[in-house]
Amino acid sequence: MAAGRNPPAGAGGGAAVTDSTGSGRTSARTSPDGTDTIRPVKIEELEAERTWLAFDPMRQLRPHLTSTGFVRLVNEVQRPEGYRLVASWDGELGRVAAALGFRQVNSLAAGRHLAVDDLTTLLAARGRGHATRLLAWAEREARRLGCEHIHLDADTHRHEAHRLALRAGYSISAFHLTRRV
């Protein structure tokens, strides 16, 4: 399939869900300033053969990766460790506009939870609700899997991501500290 095209109906793996009715599509809504904030989209889990569809939004978050490197890393390393990839298709753009990558994790500190490793939206599609709908999808999936929490890491300089998560009901519950070795 060529990049930028919508998938054929029924193609790929996971179920497409974008709204509480499960219709697979959402309708347009107008915000107080008159802009259209909810546009037709489809949320869909991408199976391994369709990982490449998420590369365009992911390269904005992970610019060090090439398309081939991204697909190889996700499919050969991360998926065997439980990583899953969900895409938000933008009807106007006719392509994947946002992506969310996550894992189910069990830890002594947090119990069973979803760890969102990657959440990103194409610059041209920001402000249209893609990330919000991906987080809502992740919350439904967390409940389905019996998870107690969702953990979302966002680099300290990603202020828009912080605002999005806080608006979505997330709280700053810990510091994530790193050290290069």
How many domains is the chain partitioned into structurally? 1
Name the residue range of residue 90's domain.
43-168
* CATH code for the domain in which residue 75 is found: 3.40.630.30
- The answer, as to whether pTM is greater than 0.85, is no
pLDDT at position 2, please? 36
Q: Are 59 and 48 in contact (CB under 8 A)?
A: no
Q: Decide if pLDDT at 141 tops 70.
A: yes
**Domain-located, residue 135:** yes
**Domain-located, residue 89:** yes
Q: Are 44 and 89 in contact (CB under 8 A)?
A: yes
**Domain-located, residue 109:** yes
Mean pLDDT calculated for residue range 114-119: 95
Considering only CA atoms, which of 155, 164, 160 is closest in space to residue 135? 164
Query: Tens digit of pLDDT for each residue in 77-116?
Result: 999 999 999 999 998 888 999 999 999 999 999 999 999 9
**Domain-located, residue 145:** yes
**Domain-located, residue 9:** no
Query: Tens digit of pLDDT for each residue in 26-70?
Result: 334 444 444 445 556 799 999 999 999 999 999 999 999 999 999
Element (H, E) at 134: helix 130-144
Q: If you average pLDDT over every residue of the chain, what do you get?
A: 81
Q: Are 138 and 116 in contact (CB under 8 A)?
A: yes
CA distance 146 to 151: 14
CB atoms within 10 A of CB 13: 13
**Domain-located, residue 178:** no
**Domain-located, residue 180:** no
**How far from 51 is each of 73, 76, 85, 158, CA to CA, in Å?**
10, 11, 7, 24
CA distance 130 to 114: 19
